[in-house]
Amino acid sequence: MRNTLDFSGKSVIITGGGKGVGLGITRRFLEAGARVLICGRSELEQLPSVNGNQAHFIAADVRDVEQVNKVVERAVELFGRLDVLVNNAGGAPYTDAATASPRFSEKIIALNLLAPLNFAQAANRVMREQAEGGSIINIASVSAVRPSPGTAAYGAAKAGLLNLTTSLAVEWAPKVRVNAVTCGMIKTEQAHLHYGDEAGIKAVEATVPLQRLAAPEDIGDACLFLASPLSSYVSGASLLVHGGGEKPAFLDAGNAGN
Closest by CA to 69, choosing from 18, 7, 123, is 123
Secondary structure element (H or E) that encloses residue 183, with its range = strand 176-183
What's the pTM value of the predicted model, to 2 decimals? 0.94
Indicate the pLDDT class of residue 2, thresholds 50, 70 and 90: low
Asked if residue 159 belongs to a domain, the reply is yes
Segment 200-236, tens digit of pLDDT: 889 888 888 899 988 999 999 999 999 999 999 999 9
Q: Which domain holds residue 108?
A: 11-187+215-241
pLDDT at position 253 is 77
Asked if residue 128 belongs to a domain, the reply is yes
Asked if residue 257 belongs to a domain, the reply is no
Choice among 94, 154, 195, 233 that is catalytic: 154
Q: Report the domain count for the chain.
A: 1
Asked if residue 137 belongs to a domain, the reply is yes
CB 175 within 8 A of CB 134: yes
Amino acid at 91: G
Asked if residue 250 belongs to a domain, the reply is no
pLDDT at position 222 is 98
pLDDT at position 86 is 98
Average pLDDT over residues 128-149: 97
pLDDT at position 132 is 96
Residue 154 falls in the annotated catalytic set: yes
pLDDT at position 256 is 61
Asked if residue 236 belongs to a domain, the reply is yes
Asked if residue 200 belongs to a domain, the reply is no
- What is the CATH number for 230? 3.40.50.720
Residue 99 has pLDDT above 70, yes or no: yes
Average pLDDT over residues 182-188: 88
Q: Give the relative orientation of helices 152-171 and 115-127 as an angle to the nearest 10 degrees.
A: 20
Residue 245 has pLDDT above 50, yes or no: yes
Asked if residue 195 belongs to a domain, the reply is no
pLDDT at position 34 is 98
